[in-house]
Amino acid sequence: MTQSSNEKELIIALSQGSHNALEVIMDTYQHSLCIYIYSLTHDNEKAKDIVQNVFLKLWERRDRLTTIDSLKSFLYKSVYNGFLNQLRSDKKMLAIEEKHMHHLYQAIDEDEELLEKQIRIIKTEIQKLPPKCKETFILSKKEGLTNVEIASFMNVSIKTVENQMSKAFKILRKKLEHKVEPILFIMYNISIQRNKE
């Protein structure tokens, strides 16, 4: 299977460091990938973790992606490999002695603290958005509504929703540019589901 011209454009843009390209890829494939992995793990949180990890690696290795034949196939193979690695990891974990587990959890806690700190920064800047802009952004990223659903809820046009979302992203990217990792901002639509107030 070969990739479409749209996929090729996305991969080229991503390899050149486009955050928008990664966001489009996530919006296109995230849901179906989560469903696929859930069918294997029967664990919603594990499925989300595996898929999120694949998108993180996709960004980290973006300069090596131009040889991909099919983006869709690549993503599905990647999450399946992530599932297999998770299985191997789970089996190894059973064999780790308790004293080693303590050090592992300590390292995880430190990472969680950093993640929580950066998410708090993002939430603070979201609250500073202009009222309509903030409402639109939260309905999209926190409540998970589509642009059509937001337009209906707010009684505005879809174009207005798109403009408000674009405005929100421009403001947030400018405010957060040197405060949080760019990839975290893009992944925030996943993270926010785990940190609802």
pTM for the whole structure: 0.47
Q: Which two three-digit tokens encode residue 12?
A: 């080229």
Cβ atoms of 15 and 65 within 8 Å: the answer is yes
pLDDT at 119: 73
Q: What is the CATH number of domain 1-95?
A: 1.10.1740.10
The domain locations on the chain are 1-95, 108-197
pLDDT at 54: 92
Q: What phi and psi, each to the nearest 5 degrees, are found at residue 41?
A: -95, -30
Q: CB within 8 A of 105, min separation 6: which ones?
A: none
CA atoms within 13 A on the CB side of 64: 6
Q: What is the CATH number of domain 108-197?
A: 1.10.10.10
Q: Do domains 1-95 and 108-197 have the same CATH topology?
A: no
Q: CB within 8 A of 181, min separation 6: which ones?
A: 118
Distance CA 8, CA 5 (A): 5
pLDDT at 1: 41
**pLDDT less than 50: residues of the chain:** 1-2, 96-101, 103-104, 107-108, 189-197
pLDDT at 3: 52
